[in-house]
Amino acid sequence: MSSPAIRFQNVAKRYGTTQVLSDVDLEVSQAESFGLVGMNGAGKTTLVKCLLDFCALDDGCIEIFGLSQRLTEARRPLVFLPERLIPPYYLTGRDFLKYLLKLQSLPYRADAVNDVLEALDLDAVALTRPVRAYSKGMTQKLGLAACFLADKELLVFDEPMSGLDPKARALLKSRLLSLRAAGRTLFLVSHALADVEEICDRMAILHRGTIRFVGSPTDCCRQFGTDTLEQAYLKCIS
Amino acid sequence: MFGQARTIALYTLLEALRNRLMWLVVAVALIGVGLSGFLQEIALTESRQIQLAMLAAFLRFSAVFLLATFVVTSMVREFNDKGLELVLALELPRAGYLFGKLAGFAALALVPALLFGLLTLLLAPPEQAAWWTLSLVCELWIVAAFSLLCVLTFNQVMAALSASMAFYLLARSVTAFQLIGHGPMTDQSISQQIINFVINAIGVLLPHFDEFTRTDWLVYHSGDLTALLPVLAQTGIYLALLAGAALFDLYRKNL
Amino acid sequence: MRERPLIHVPQAAMLLLALALAMQIAWSVSRPARQAVAEDLPPTPSLTVLRFFSFGEPIALAKGFMLYLQSFDSQPGLTIPFSRLDYDRVEGWLAQILQLDPPGQYPLFSASMFYAQGVDESRQRRMLEFIYRKFLDDPNRRWPWLAHAVIAAKHRLKDLPLARKYAQAIRVHAVSNEVPYWAREMEIFILQDMNEIDSAKVLISGLLDSGRITDTNEIQFLERRFKELEAKTRAK
């Protein structure tokens, strides 16, 4: 049996005297689409930081495809899109894509780039402009393009829909669903319950540093006896 | 890792080119030439020496200041824009990132050093200008590495830049402090001995920049390999020390 | 944010840091100790250059340069006796500093207290002449240093004519009310020492008749002095 894409085991993290995460147990299976939801300050970003070894765990362990998250090579099959992407100010869009691809020892192929941009409704001409001239939506699309071009097994996205217009959101959802169908693993952190319901096989609700629910969106509604996921979520965290 | 470090170095250089640092370097060179030329015109004696000495001192300090400022502001901006997270989320060890940055800043240091060295060629013999330039490169590499360490420690422009400049000024004057402390006019009470001990300890841990990039090489043609070899040795050792300290800091950093 | 534990630092990094630190210490300790090398006073820059580099703060620059000049007698690790300094340059520096900061007293203080002492006679005379020339530029402010020069000329150089020249200059030029009478009347004592009693009496009469002396204590002092000199003349 293959190891899960991500395994959080008994993860705990403190900032000073504040317990930000405690007893977090989660498994994300390979080829699964998983959503992590929670309020602001629930600990979602901290959990992602722990996953990426940006900060040290106080307890527990995390594995990425069976490797400890502390190992650099554990991040080989992974690509990450942060919540508020700010590309290096001195680069153009094209430079940014080339930069990230080079760091991953991947070639820059113009045809692949054009395909991805089209899939995200980003005009290819934008690549010639400096990124500091981009709108929030354009920056987000650029970040998503960089992640898709990397063609990794595991995609970790923090608020991927942020700043996108309705058309771009629809296109992104379509892309994510096709990636799921192609066997990629998606780990999405999101406030948008509707998107999680549509895209994710399973979800977890993180509240005040602890996991309150793990299961499919349907199971969530059933468990909390509600018609909508939103109502189930509110009941869960109340 | 080395390929990744090379990419980071190249893009660091690109940042310097695109944010007009080079224009500043050229402007400083022109100001230096203009200033020293003006002084040469009004000096009554030793005018060429005065011009060369003033030019060398001005260019040396300017190069240090420009480079330290660029390193600090560039790194702080990268931290604030989460550029570090973007890159470290990849399969890139923190050491690879650090060595890439160091290599980029080291390559960048060559630009003012070579340009300013060429300027001294107008007034000094080629051999002396070469020693001076080589020593300036070494000095700039140490300053860049220390500035990077300060940014990792302080995370803020003012604190990091102040610490970098304080380090530079102290490293240039530590020998004088040591000599004063042991001078015949200095009272050797217990408190003075403690002060001397502290100064000596600082002197052991700092590079002695008063031995680097000496103006008298240009003015009095006194530079040679025996003067430069200790500079090269000190540079190698100190860069290793700063790299080790920066790695220690970076690996312990929670992002 | 609390730092990550030490275990997150690769061993290679720790080793690099430890080894480099050991090498730095070994390198520093193995280097021969720097010996203090006496530096001579450099040539004086022109006033134009100095004004330029004062960046609008000539007084601060003047004060700074006085400290710099002073440091030449106590350089890091050794002392240089004044006798080894180039007095052309010392004089040049003092003159330039006075130009930058005319009311400043430090240059003439140094000239009279340091550079005119403990050196050979020619240097002493040189410094005293320097003080005299600069006194003439601002006598009401610079008279104290010429008064020192009078004493130096009289007691160290044993040159009474020179002392009289300086004392006379104080009497003639330092006419402000702030100048104490003992300074203005130093010439009288010098003349006495030169056994020129008649000249001293003429001087006192002249001062009293001129109407410039208004202080009653000073008038009484001069009258007393005149009587003493008369008594001396009669005694001869």
Note whether residue A163 is domain-resident.
no
**Which residue do the tokens 């060179």 mark?**
B29
| Chain B interface includes C25 (CB < 8 A) | yes
ipTM, 2 dp: 0.91
pLDDT at B187: 57
C-alpha of C150 from chain center:
15
What integer is the mean pLDDT of B195-206? 88
pLDDT at C75: 56
Beta bridge pairs of residue A11: A24
Q: Tens digit of pLDDT for each residue in A78-118?
A: 999 999 889 999 999 999 999 999 999 999 999 999 999 99
Q: What is the pLDDT along chain C (236 residues), one digit of tens a residue?
A: 568 889 899 999 999 999 999 999 999 999 887 665 556 677 777 787 778 777 777 887 787 777 777 766 655 555 556 667 788 888 888 998 898 888 888 888 888 877 877 778 888 899 999 999 999 999 999 999 999 899 989 988 899 999 999 999 999 999 888 888 888 888 888 888 888 888 888 888 887 887 777 778 778 888 888 888 888 788 76
pLDDT at B194: 85
B7/A102 CB distance under 8 A: yes
- Number of structural domains (chain B) is 1
What integer is the mean pLDDT of A203-209? 93
B234/C27 CB distance under 8 A: yes
Q: Are the C-beta atoms of C87 and C114 separated by less than 8 Å?
A: no
Beta bridge pairs of residue C120: none
Mutation choice for C interface testing from B142, B179, B232 by most C CBs within 10 A: B179
Note whether residue C122 is domain-resident.
yes
| Chain A interface includes B11 (CB < 8 A) | yes
Note whether residue C231 is domain-resident.
no
Q: Are the C-beta atoms of B148 and B101 separated by less than 8 Å?
A: yes
- Number of structural domains (chain C) is 1
* Amino acid identity for residue A91 in this structure: L
What integer is the mean pLDDT of A121-127? 92
pLDDT at C31: 86
Q: B177: domain range?
A: 2-251
Q: C167: domain range?
A: 42-174
B255/A78 CB distance under 8 A: no
Q: How far is C4 from chain A (nearest CA, A)?
A: 6
Q: How far is C107 from chain B (nearest CA, A)?
A: 23
Minimal Cβ distance to C28: which of B45, B182, B203: B203
Q: Would the pLDDT of B37 be above 90? A: no
Give the residue among B100, B107, B109, B110 at the shortest CA–CA distance from B78: B100
pLDDT at C86: 81
Q: Would the pLDDT of A216 be above 70? A: yes
Q: Which of residues 148-187 of B touch A (CB under 8 A)?
A: none
Q: How far is A55 from chain B (nearest CA, A)?
A: 5
Note whether residue C32 is domain-resident.
no
pLDDT at B234: 96
Q: Would the pLDDT of B138 be above 80? A: yes
What integer is the mean pLDDT of B120-136? 93
Note whether residue A1 is domain-resident.
yes
The domain spanning residue A45 has which CATH number?
3.40.50.300
pLDDT at C73: 61
Q: Would the pLDDT of A123 be above 60? A: yes
- Measured between its terminal Cα atoms, the distance across chain C in Å is 98
| Chain A interface includes B19 (CB < 8 A) | yes
Minimal Cβ distance to A54: which of B78, B83, B88: B88
C5/A55 CB distance under 8 A: no
Q: How far is C3 from chain A (nearest CA, A)?
A: 8
Could you tell me how many CB contacts below 8 A there are between chain A and chain C?
9
Note whether residue C79 is domain-resident.
yes
C43/B46 CB distance under 8 A: yes
Mutation choice for C interface testing from A13, A45, A55, A71 by most C CBs within 10 A: A55
Q: Are the C-beta atoms of B120 and B132 separated by less than 8 Å?
A: yes
C10/B95 CB distance under 8 A: yes
Higher-pLDDT residue of C37, A202: A202
pLDDT at A21: 93
| Strand A6-15 versus strand A59-64 pairing type | antiparallel
pLDDT at A173: 93
Note whether residue C127 is domain-resident.
yes
Task: Write out C39-102 in H/E/C secondary structure.
Answer: CCCCCCCCHHHHHHHCCCCHHHHHHHHHHHHHHHHEECCEECCHHHCCHHHHHHHHHHHHHHCC
CB contacts of A80 in chain B (<8 Å) are 86, 89
| Chain C interface includes A70 (CB < 8 A) | yes
| Chain A interface includes B46 (CB < 8 A) | no
B245/C78 CB distance under 8 A: no
The DSSP 8-state label assigned to residue C208 in this structure reads H
What average pLDDT is seen over chain B? 89
C8/A56 CB distance under 8 A: yes
Token pair in block for residue A215: 């299961």
Note whether residue A71 is domain-resident.
yes
Note whether residue A95 is domain-resident.
no
* Amino acid identity for residue A211 in this structure: I
C4/A16 CB distance under 8 A: no
Q: Which of residues 4-33 of C touch A (CB under 8 A)?
A: 4-5, 8
Q: Tens digit of pLDDT for each residue in A135-193?
A: 999 999 999 999 999 999 999 999 999 899 999 999 999 999 999 999 999 999 998 89
The chains found to touch A (3+ Cβ pairs under 8 angstroms) are B, C
Q: Would the pLDDT of A227 be above 80? A: yes
CB contacts of C5 in chain A (<8 Å) are 56
Q: Would the pLDDT of B143 be above 90? A: yes
Minimal Cβ distance to C46: which of B43, B243, B251: B43
Q: How far apart are CA A36 and CA A211, in angstroms?
A: 10
Minimal Cβ distance to A82: which of B4, B85, B91: B85
The chains found to touch C (3+ Cβ pairs under 8 angstroms) are A, B
- Number of structural domains (chain A) is 1
Q: A5: domain range?
A: 1-77+185-238
Q: How far is B147 from chain A (nearest CA, A)?
A: 20
Helix (H, G, I), strand (E, B) or coil at A11: strand
C1/A56 CB distance under 8 A: no
Note whether residue C98 is domain-resident.
yes
Q: Tens digit of pLDDT for each residue in A20-61?
A: 999 999 999 999 999 999 988 888 999 999 999 999 999 999
State which residue of chain B sits closest to C31, comparing Cα positions.
Answer: B230
Note whether residue A129 is domain-resident.
no
Give the residue among C227, C217, C99, C196 at the shortest CA–CA distance from C168: C196
pLDDT at A25: 95
pLDDT at B14: 94
